[in-house]
Amino acid sequence: MAPMQKNPAVEAVKNVISTAALLWSIALVGGLILNEQTKLSESVHPALAACLLIFTVIWLSVVEGGQASLVGLSPINRELYKDSHPIAYKTTAMTANGDALDRYLLGRQFMVVFIVFTINVSGGPIADAELWGLPDGVLNAFLGSGLAMILFTTMCGQLNSQVNASHCMLDYLNTWSNYLTVVVCVIIEFSGLVHASYLIQIIVAALAGSPIESREGPRSDVQNIFFFGRCFMSLGILVFAFTVTLVALFNGDTTMWEGVPNGVAVVVFFLLMSVVGMLEGMQIAFFAVAKIPKDERGDNYWAKKTCEILYFGEAHNLSGFMIGRQLCVVSCMFFIARVTSLDIDPDADDFDGETIFGVSTGIQKFFNLGFLGALITTIVASIAWQLVASAFPIAMLSNPFTYILLRICLFLEGIGICNGAYVIAWIHAKIAGFQRDEIYIGTAEERREKAMADDKSALSVGTGHIAKLPLVDAPADLKNLIETNDEVRKYMEGSMKESA
């Protein structure tokens, strides 16, 4: 499989078409809100829905860009940018010690899913939405399928910030919005809401026969009580969320598409979560396998085929997968939000007075927002699969579904459907005056010459860890580096180099 050389003229056309599709999608979403054709604008007020949508999309971009920056900067000596980027210095201080980065990533994972579900409530179309007399074909293509919301969220809320943050980590992170976001992520993790993930982490490590490497000492008895107390509290909440969601699905009390049998709706729910899980686990497995020599990757046919595509030539397919994967994950999350959002309206004229499990109308309205589905998606469809992939990367590659999803992601990236994100990123970078990190702190080689070399151990990877790479174009010499553990790890830990 020969790598495709990108034609500048073709890419320019893709940029124009993708940007036009994005602007059309934004117009459709705005029109839905103004005409009270979204869930929140219909039940509350269009102004609130519009403000919440704008706020959450901007917040999502901060979360995505901040993650890329924090992971990429973790090996860098913080004293290098203490004076030039004081807010970035203050922000990285919160994740610099012990396992703080892992805890931030765990809280961030729930935040991302929560924000995406909130975006769906604010801007997602209600059933049978109509707008401007548009023909059914257009409505079904952009609204019924969720394409307008997917393009809007992916390009405006995720990819553009990841593009800038992957090369301009210091400038991107040097804002109070990023600092406050990290604070919220840490609070989410400390609350114990997603601590059931740690139980999965312990089980996965035991199955792999590999201890979880920690940068902190053993917990005291009091700390263990507090830790496992939150773990089992989280597990109880997760079981309750599953129970409510499954009962609603079997009773047909969700916003699932009309005409879908209840039993099929349950199957669709688990299928969508499995796809999200595969996509989340694949990114962990792909970078883990990059460190493994070819002769240690096994003889499985699908694993070999997958690695041939990923690491061929200059390995541009690796970054291409990351872009296509982002679109697929967001698509599945929107669909899960629709499948899991309860549709029992206590204010409706035909309400029979029966809420799920007889809860109060206030609690029922909270259930209707779909945030129980967000918790399930975070722990079961996202974090759990990442933890499994970190322990069993070869097994993740050794099935045909990984190969199929890789092909789909590369196809989506290849057609340029999300190229509008590059346009937004370019505009944002020009307005904000972003500059590459090397201008401030030099290259990895220059830092080493100044006796301020990167700390390779700062980023925990391997069994039980879910650290991800910033979204970057693979450097030209990655084809040689993938056979050398030390060099690939340097790349994984965010040592930014010029792309070919």
∠ CA 414-377-70, nearest 5°, is 65
* Residue 484 pLDDT > 50: no
SS (H, E, C) 262-305: HHHHHHHHHHHHHHHHHHHHHHHHHHHHCCCCHHHCCCCHHHHH
Question: Coil, helix or strand for 358?
Answer: helix
The neighbour count for residue 365, using CB atoms within 10 Å, is: 17
pLDDT band at 295 (very low <50, low <70, confident <90, very high): low
User: Which amino acid is it at 485?
Assistant: N
Is-above-0.85 flag for pTM? no
Candidate from 50-59, 165-174, 346-355 with smallest mean pLDDT: 346-355
**CB 74, CB 173: distance < 8 Å:** no
Question: Both tokens of residue 472?
Answer: 């970057």
* Residue 481 pLDDT > 50: no
pLDDT tens-digit series, residues 98-113: 788 888 888 888 888 8
Question: Both tokens of residue 231?
Answer: 């773990």
Instruction: Write the burial class of residue 408 (CB in 10 Å: 0-12 exposed, 13-18 middle, 19+ buried).
Output: middle
Question: Both tokens of residue 422?
Answer: 């590059």
pLDDT tens-digit series, residues 249-294: 888 888 777 778 888 888 988 999 899 888 888 877 776 666 566 6
What is the pLDDT, as a whole number, of residue 229? 94
Who wins on pLDDT, 145 or 446? 145
pLDDT band at 55 (very low <50, low <70, confident <90, very high): very high
Q: Which residues contact 171 (CB under 8 A, 6 or more apart)?
A: 85, 432, 433, 434, 435
Q: What are phi and psi of 313, to 5 degrees?
A: 60, -120
- Crossing angle of helices 100-123/316-340, nearest 10°? 60
What is the pLDDT, as a whole number, of residue 492? 43
Sign of the CA dihedral running 162, 168, 171, 174: positive
pLDDT tens-digit series, residues 383-400: 888 888 877 888 888 888
* Residue 13 pLDDT > 90: no
**CB 23, CB 155: distance < 8 Å:** no
Q: Which residues contact 436 (CB under 8 A, 6 or more apart)?
A: 167, 168, 496
The structural domains of the chain, with segments of one domain joined by +, span: 8-492
Q: What is the DSSP letter of 474?
A: P
Question: Both tokens of residue 480?
Answer: 């040689």
Distance spanning both ends of the chain, measured CA to CA: 19
Max intra-chain CA distance, the chain: 74
What distance in Å separates the CA atoms of residue 235 and residue 245, rounded to the nearest whole number? 15
Question: Both tokens of residue 379?
Answer: 């722990």
Question: Both tokens of residue 469?
Answer: 């790479």
Instruction: Write the burial class of residue 271 (CB in 10 Å: 0-12 exposed, 13-18 middle, 19+ buried).
Output: middle
What distance in Å separates the CA atoms of residue 158 and residue 151, rounded to the nearest whole number? 10
